[in-house]
């Protein structure tokens, strides 16, 4: 079982990823996550959440995932990480939902996002 690191802030999370990836790749990932967060909020009509808080949380989640995937060898180089960034750009909402699983219960805004996602998922079944 993988031992995941948990970060409470971007000040803590980003340097952990910088040990493995260039600033350029991290900046590109953060931009993709920012865009995905916005699309997630629009698609789920979450006007009552703080967009900046959701973006911050998803960036922390991305960093946690990145460090874990790099540590176990799932992502072996920046080319593979670029592929992940491309996937986020192509399927922003789906990927934002995946990332949100990591940080979905850490603050009110992310709890609201997670709650709405679950409500829609199970109301359609």
From the list 64, 14, 62, 65, the residue with the least C-alpha distance to 37 is: 62
In a domain, 1, yes or no: no
Does residue 29 lie within any of the structural domains? yes
Domain count within the chain: 1
Per-residue model confidence as pLDDT tens for the chain (125 residues): 455 789 999 999 999 999 999 999 999 999 999 999 999 999 999 999 999 999 999 999 999 999 999 999 999 999 999 999 999 999 999 999 889 888 988 899 999 998 998 888 888 66
For the residues of 31-75, what is the DSSP string, one character each? Answer: HHHHHHHHHHHHHTT-TTS-HHHHHHHHHHHHHHHHHHHHHTTSS
* Residue 60 lies in domain: 10-123
Instruction: Compute CA 63 distance to the chain's CA centroid, rounded to the nearest angstrom.
Output: 8
Task: Establish if 2 belongs to a structural domain.
Answer: no
On whether residue 5 sits in a domain, the answer given is no
pTM of structure:
0.91
């Amino acid at each position: 079982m993988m031992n995941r690191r948990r970060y409470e802030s971007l000040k803590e999370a980003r340097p952990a990823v910088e040990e493995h990836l260039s600033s350029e790749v991290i900046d590109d990932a953060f931009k993709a996550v920012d865009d995905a967060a916005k699309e997630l909020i629009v698609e789920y009509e979450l006007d009552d959440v703080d967009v900046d808080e959701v973006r911050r949380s998803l960036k922390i989640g991305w960093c946690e995932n990145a460090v874990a995937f790099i540590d176990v060898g799932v992502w072996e180089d920046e080319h593979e990480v670029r592929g992940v960034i491309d996937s986020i750009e192509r399927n922003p909402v789906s990927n934002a939902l995946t990332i949100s699983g990591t940080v979905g219960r850490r603050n009110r805004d992310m709890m609201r996002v997670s709650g709405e996602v679950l409500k829609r998922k199970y109301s359609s079944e």
